[in-house]
Chain A
Amino acid sequence: MALIDLANPARFLALTARILPWLATATVVVFAIGLYLVWFVAPDDYQMGAVVKIMFIHVPNAWLAMGVWAVMCIASIGTLVWRHPLADVAAKAAAPLGAAFTFLALLTGSLWGRPMWGTYWVWDARLTSVLVLFLMYLGVMALWRTVDDPSRAARAAAILTLVGAINLPIIKFSVDWWNTLHQPASLLRMGGPAIHPSILTPLLVMALAFLLLFFTLHLAAMRNEILRRRVRTMWLMQAHAAS
């Protein structure tokens, strides 16, 4: 089955109906492995104790917060340039998920930061730019809801998403450009990862688990959106027929 077949909503629904149960199972399994590793393999921090393990939720969520916006950007290019029929469905379905991951990143980071920094929130570069990213997610969701016609909303949201992509590099490099309270980059940096394997492995496994969670939820949300549009079309036909 070629990729182009996925462009057909009916085929997409059929395919995802078969894939979703497997994806969901895989998500649960990887989460189980990851949580086991986090609890029993990763060491406690000598200063903070077990609280440091919030990091294993915080960091994957932060990565996904930015990654989902990148997915939305690709979908937006699909809408504007290639006119792929499912691109706008993908973009619309991804926005609430991205907002949720960003919110979780902010929340877990805040809970983690309280014992370390003595406050729930500081206005430093990394936190503020992630907060702005959260506002932008909510803005895109608001835009989708305000415009009634799905195809017009899709084009408007696509433009907004691509413009907002400027925030991603700002977030990534903010901790390097500005001297901040937040920890500088440890993983994706020039000299290679600076973390010990006993922490790195659970972190990567949890990241994979959250990624699978995103795929599962995203496909399910896309199915819902396609079905929602079908309902709308049926309403239009019903009104037309009844007159």
Chain B
Amino acid sequence: MLRLSATGLGCTRGSRSVFEGINLELSGGEALALVGRNGSGKSSLLRLVAGLLQPSAGRIELAGGAPQNTLAEQAHYLGHLDALKPSLTVAENLGFWVRYLGGDVAVLPGSLTALGLSGLVDLPAAYLSAGQRRRLSLARLIVVPRPIWLLDEPTSALDAAGQERLAALMRDHLAGGGLIMAATHGPLGIECKTLQLGRSAPSPLAGEGWGGGSEFVASAASQGGTPTPNPSPQGGGERSGARGTK
């Protein structure tokens, strides 16, 4: 059973502290939504877990995964950028990532169909719209099976149909025992826990429409990590939001 945990995580970018004292715990089959306003460190947290950024304090641990692989080698990272080369076709772009990340090329056509891209296989990626590019990035997630998904605003650039497709993919992934961490400004369409980053001012979207699951809130570094489930739909609250600077 997969378990991802982080204790006392802190992040510094440049000379400013983005956040400190983040604790989280995520098991296989669970999803965590990172919420907070811009600049609160959602992307930084994802990059920390992905190993693309070094934490200034704290530890990240993965239990139950493949012992010979690092966390990064068992995770997919979907950032703001699409990692697509405009002069390569859709098939060439996806085929490269499949081979580089160690997936099975035979699954490629099926994944393109699942994301509605099967008619564009030989089109150079330069001609794709923003939504199509996003879906092509998502195709990468299902062609190469990796248990941990780190998604940075995955619903951006997707229309309603695309968001439903994404929700279905995430549900399948969770059902298979994978875990998802996603930074987002809006509802993801699946059941998930929530982690509020940044100062008080609760997000108007917190609680309503987020799906069930407990409110899971970061606590200050000095107090260690005990989750305080908050029945109020207002979310976070003044006292227990993580200390972060704007």
Contacts and interface: CB of A to CB of B under 8 A. Distances in A.
Do A and B touch directly, given a CB cutoff of 8 Å in the complex?
A: yes
B127 A236 contact: yes
A235 B123 contact: yes
A164 B135 CA distance: 46
A4 interface: no
Nearest to B126: A148
B128 interface: yes
B132 A238 contact: no
A7 to B, nearest CB: 27
B195 to A, nearest CB: 33
B109 interface: no
A242 B126 contact: no
| Category for how many chain B residues contact A | 10 to 19
A81 interface: no
Interface string B120-139: 10011011110110000000
B129 to A, nearest CB: 5
A239 interface: yes
A235 B124 contact: yes
A47 interface: no
Interface string A225-243: 0000000000110111011
B119 interface: yes
Contacts of B120: 238-239, 242
B126 A243 contact: no
Contacts of B123: 235, 238-239
Interface in B91-140: 116-117, 119-120, 123-124, 126-129, 131-132
B127 A239 contact: yes
Interface in B34-58: none
A240 B129 contact: yes
A239 B127 CA distance: 6
Contacts of B119: 238, 242
Given A238-B119, A238-B120, A243 B127 contact: no
A235 to B, nearest CB: 5
A243 B119 CA distance: 10
Contacts of B131: 243
Nearest to A240: B129
Contact of B129 (A148, A235, A239): A239
Contacts of A240: 129
A87 to B, nearest CB: 25
B222 to A, nearest CB: 51
A146 to B, nearest CB: 12
Interface in A178-222: none
B124 A242 contact: no
A242 B123 CA distance: 11
Nearest to B125: A239
A236 B124 CA distance: 10
Interface in A112-163: 148
B129 A243 contact: yes
A148 B127 CA distance: 12
Contacts of A238: 119-120, 123, 127
A113 to B, nearest CB: 42
B124 A243 contact: no
B196 to A, nearest CB: 35
Nearest to A148: B126
Nearest to B127: A239
A49 to B, nearest CB: 52
Contacts of A239: 120, 123, 127-129, 132
Interface of A: 148, 235-236, 238-240, 242-243
16 contacts: A235-B123, A235-B127, A238-B119, A238-B120, A238-B123, A238-B127, A239-B120, A239-B123, A239-B127, A239-B129, A240-B129, A242-B116, A242-B119, A242-B120, A243-B129, A243-B131
Given A236-B127, A240-B129, 9 more contacts: A148-B126, A235-B124, A238-B119, A238-B120, A239-B123, A239-B128, A239-B132, A242-B119, A243-B132
Interface of B: 116-117, 119-120, 123-124, 126-129, 131-132
